[in-house]
Structure 1
Amino acid sequence: MFLTNQDVIELTEWRRRLHRMPEVSREEAKTAEEVQAFLEANAPDRIVTSLGGHGVAAVYEGREPGPTVMVRAELDALPIEEISDAPHRSAIPGKGHLCGHDGHMAILAALARGLGRQRPRRGRAVLLFQPAEEDGSGAAAVVADPKFREIAPDIAFSLHNMPGIPFGKAALAEGVVNCASRGMRITLTGKTAHASMPETGISPMNAVAHLMSALTALSHGSTLDETFSLVTITHAEMGEPAFGIAPAHAEIWATLRTLTDSRMQDLCARAEALAAEAARNQGLKVDIAYDDVFHHCENAPEAVAHLRRALEAEGVPHDEGAGPIRASEDFGRFGQKAPAAMFFLGAGETYPSLHNPDYDFPDDLIGIGARVFMRALRDILG
């Protein structure tokens, strides 16, 4: 173990400090400052800031030429009220680190401790603290930032803690591990009327009622194969909160989900056709926009092989798990640029689920995750 007992105590306290000050996607300025301060105390050769927004990266250089290996964590929290009696519970109303990104950051902070004491023999280790993972915009913004070209990896790794898996056990497999998804926003516009004479206006009511069921009927399959699709209505509103006005405006928000990016294009086309037909039948104008766009996340065989060797060397039990999961993850963007792999690290079979208001990252996972990544870094970079 490359961490001392004092390291573990300090990393745990730092993780809890981050937990108390959650910031949501694109607002992670104070979190980035905390990360930068921690990294500066651990002697990287270079720190890159404002990367794709509030992103921060630490670079540790080896003495000899070699590959660049990146390990990624996420900066952002969720817009969810935390329910907890813990002393380190969120101090920000309506926001909480309820996905464990604070713990992922602590794992990378542990790597900074180790790399600051012993540089890699060759190549470069890059520790990336990525912004805005939760809304799908962060990885794309990082990759598009000109500063990223200076630290672009030859191979990339990440993890996500996973309730439902036995504590400390890992799941790792080649191929698709996270679904593609995106938020579809359908806006319908007609003409208002007095509520006593609705026939003089053009209401979106019938179109909304039809689309609620028609969109969800696009869902197909319960197993995650190439034909899988899932449409979930997440929000709908119509008209003004008044009794005297027949409405002219409505919005429907739906999350579209497929196993792969190619399947997503087909699902979008079918959903758009339904919206256009419903609007046309009711004499409405329709506008469609997309938010929270996640590409599918795919583990490359060569990256998986490195992580598998590291898990075995560190005595961390692992298997391929139950296959791909429905949840999305924007780490897939990095996999489009270099071989990449993510593994899932068990938080406990009965542990509160991710995004639940009572979730809190298990601190004992910090050392396990850090050991696996450090072993992979040393195996590749020496």
Structure 2
Amino acid sequence: MTPERLAQLTALRHRLHTIPEVSGCEEKTADVVAEYLRQHAPDEILTGLGGHGVAAVYRGAVEGPTVLIRCELDGLPIEEVSSADYRSTHAGRGHLCGHDGHMVMVSALAEDLARTRPQMGRVVLLFQPAEETGKGAAAVIADPQFERIKPDYAFALHNYPGLAAGAVALCQGPANCASRGMRIRLMGKTSHAAAPQDGVSPAGALTKLMPGLVALGPGGEMSADFARVTLTHAWLGEPTFGIAPGEAEIWVTLRTVTDVRMEQLTEEANAVLAEVCAAEGLEYTVSYDDVFDACTNHPEATEILSFGAETAGYPAQLWQVPQPWSEDFGQFSKVAKSAMFWLGAGETMPQLHNPDYDFPDELIPVGSAIFAAAIDAVLNQAPGGNH
């Protein structure tokens, strides 16, 4: 990548960085992306995919597989701490996960594809909404427009603070944990603070559930039996001295390596909840949000990405252990052979979702080169060739 082209792509990244939008609200971001893609002659462009999703399609000369390259549109509801001249202009919002960088790495492919179409098949550049809530990939796949771009292979990446800048890693098999947010509401009866015996307080249940639920998922080795329960929020009653509480809430995040273990953990958590509430004379409700299935790399797709990284000059480390965080890219494994890789953002970089995180621009040519090599491996190889 020439310095001039990198400068142009960096300017696009900085533009996107100034306008972060949270999941489901990515209208302006989608407009900027679509504007850029239209300048690079796609054969077809789809908008409004699963919300604000955008996809550009580049067709080869003959029929063949469809390769989808996916990135994310959304930012985070976190106030950015930065002195950069391209810092967020949206109060309480920030591109603090690097999705702005992911978008630009995928955008960089459009210029190459506009100049040289694949020999066969199709390339779909997908800019997906609502990754952070776990809803976006499923919404894109459920969108009737998706049938027009349904892929045979799907690839993605995520930048990785703590891994050396430009280093590449691939998980073999499980890549990201399943997770879900469990919101529990406890309902008793208020009473005067002078006569708490006349009400039904959820305080006792709350003090039992906080350690009891966490004990179900102590973490440990990242095996198929791995489970972690994290307490994220709790409240009890009203902020007053005159009322003994009648309601409470507790939020926990459940996390497992496999979807099967997630179902087991969910059942275990509900059993503990039912037992405690029966003993305390409480009613309760349960709801779930931020639900992510496990993300597992397909063997053939992993081989293609490994080949692409090697070809691009960034040989991949092969990891046997998945990452504990979650990614809704796992939804694409239900419709295609899919895999995602990690791209090192630097060993001393702030962590993802930190208020001072900022995607390193020098990674732009690395990620785009690996994707380009993976596309080439699938769509430009001789029939029967090996990756």
Question: TM-score scaled to structure 2, two decimals?
Answer: 0.97
The Cα shift of 1:338 comes to 1.0
- The CA distance in 2 between the partners of 1:115 and 1:5, in whole Å, is 19
1:133 counterpart (119, 131, 134): 131
- The CA distance in 2 between the partners of 1:39 and 1:216, in whole Å, is 46
1:275 aligns with 273
1:1-382 aligned within 5 A: 3-321=1-319, 323-382=321-380
- The CA distance in 1 between the partners of 2:107 and 2:90, in whole Å, is 23
Partner SS state of residue 159, structure 2: strand
- The CA distance in 1 between the partners of 2:364 and 2:223, in whole Å, is 33
* Structure 2: tracts of 5 or more residues without a match: 381-387
CA contact (8 A) 1:52 1:141 kept: yes
The Cα shift of 1:173 comes to 2.8
**Residues matched between the structures, number:** 380
- CA distances 1:29-62 after superposition (whole Å, capped 9, x unpaired): 1111111111111110111111011111000011
- CA distances 1:275-330 after superposition (whole Å, capped 9, x unpaired): 11111111111101110000000001100111111111111032114621100000
CA contact (8 A) 1:220 1:227 kept: no
Partner SS state of residue 217, structure 1: helix
Q: Percent identity?
A: 55
CA contact (8 A) 2:73 2:127 kept: yes
- The CA distance in 2 between the partners of 1:42 and 1:305, in whole Å, is 30
CA contact (8 A) 1:221 1:227 kept: no
* Range 310-319 or range 283-292, more displaced: 310-319
- The CA distance in 1 between the partners of 2:2 and 2:284, in whole Å, is 60
CA contact (8 A) 1:183 1:253 kept: yes
2:383 aligns with none
Partner SS state of residue 22, structure 1: coil
Q: Which runs of structure 1 show a deviation greater than 4 angstroms over 4 or more consecutive aligned residues? A: none
- The CA distance in 2 between the partners of 1:311 and 1:317, in whole Å, is 5
The Cα shift of 1:226 comes to 1.1
- Letter of the aligned partner of 2:25 in structure 1? E
- Letter of the aligned partner of 2:7 in structure 1? I
The RMSD of aligned alpha carbons is 1.0
- The CA distance in 1 between the partners of 2:37 and 2:277, in whole Å, is 54
- The CA distance in 2 between the partners of 1:17 and 1:57, in whole Å, is 20
The Cα shift of 1:90 comes to 1.0
- Letter of the aligned partner of 1:50 in structure 2? G
- Letter of the aligned partner of 1:328 in structure 2? S
